[in-house]
Amino acid sequence: MKKIGGRIYTFLIFLFLYAPILVLIVFSFNDTDTGSRVVWGGFSLRWYRKLFEDRLILEALRNTLVIAVVSAVVSTVLGTVAAIGINGMKRLPRRIMMSITNFPMVNPEIVTGVSLMLLFVSAVRLFGGRSLGMGSLFAAHITFCLPYVILSVLPKLRQMDPNLYEAAQDLGCPPLKAFFKVVLPEIMPGIVTGMIMAFTLSIDDFVISYFTSGTTQTLPIYIYSMTRKRISPEINALSTVMFGAVMVLLIIVNVRNGREQDGPKRQDL
């Protein structure tokens, strides 16, 4: 009895989470001239064709991917190095660094967004240069990705046996080599997690990009402008494609993880 209740409850929650997505997907195949989101007019792929002919969308997609790759790589390198530094710090400076790191995570996104906008606008006003665009987007994305990288690398450093690095040196390994041979493999899972998080956060970000992009379009910004102006089933097609891509990615990652071992449960927040 209790079990059945639990199942029904679980089902209802998942229905709540997935129903809108399903509706989007179904109507992306809708054959309609009016662009109705309610009346079913038969199956068609016309909105997909339209989507892939849309030069603006493709450009926005390209921008999004470039920004995501650059900010993931930069924030991973910078963040990993910083995490090692923070790990070696004494209590007080470490606490200060951690507060600065935690700050953008608890601060409302919109406030981070407008503060960065103020920075970039003021910088342009003071030093000249081009107005907001790719440059400011890179800077903003790296900034909000960094804490996530640090917070996924730091625990791995803490867990690491501090004698490992010393043992490597004791056995005749020079310090830098000891780092790459011993420390890096130990913290690799944290680095990878951090990088994946940075990448997905960057792809998905709307609020901060919105305030720092100027006229440059990223995919979320483009989607926003679509929902504001003309509402076309093209957007449904886009959702379906993105959802499909995420599904495939997750399945690949999961199958790979499952094969590696049952492993410790990742904390994907």
Site for other proteins in 52-111 (CB under 8 A): 78-79, 81-89, 93, 97, 100-101, 103-104, 106-111
Smallest separation, CB 202 to other proteins (Å): 12
Residue in 133, 256, 148 with CA at minimum distance from that of residue 202: 148
Q: Please, which residue, 256 or 265, has the CB nearer to other proteins?
A: 265
Question: Cα(72)–Cα(67) distance, rounded to whole angstroms?
Answer: 8
Q: What is the largest CA-CA distance in the chain?
A: 74
Among 227, 230, 248, 255, binds other proteins (CB under 8 A): 227
Among 56, 118, 248, 252, binds other proteins (CB under 8 A): 118
Question: Cα(235)–Cα(238) distance, rounded to whole angstroms?
Answer: 5
Smallest separation, CB 159 to other proteins (Å): 11
Close Cβ partners of 215 (under 8 Å, ≥ 6 residues apart):
132, 133
Q: CB under 8 A: which stretch of 50-58, 126-134, 184-192, 223-231 binds other proteins?
A: 223-231
Q: CB under 8 A: which stretch of 44-52, 65-73, 119-127, 184-192 binds other proteins?
A: 119-127
Smallest separation, CB 220 to other proteins (Å): 6
Q: Is 47 in the site for other proteins (CB under 8 A)?
A: no
Q: CB under 8 A: which stretch of 41-49, 54-62, 124-132, 141-149 binds other proteins?
A: 141-149
Judged by CB under 8 A, the chain residues 230 through 269 that form the site for other proteins are 235, 238-239, 242-243, 246-247, 250, 254, 262, 265, 267-269
Judged by CB under 8 A, the chain residues 19 through 38 that form the site for other proteins are 19-21, 23-24, 27, 37-38
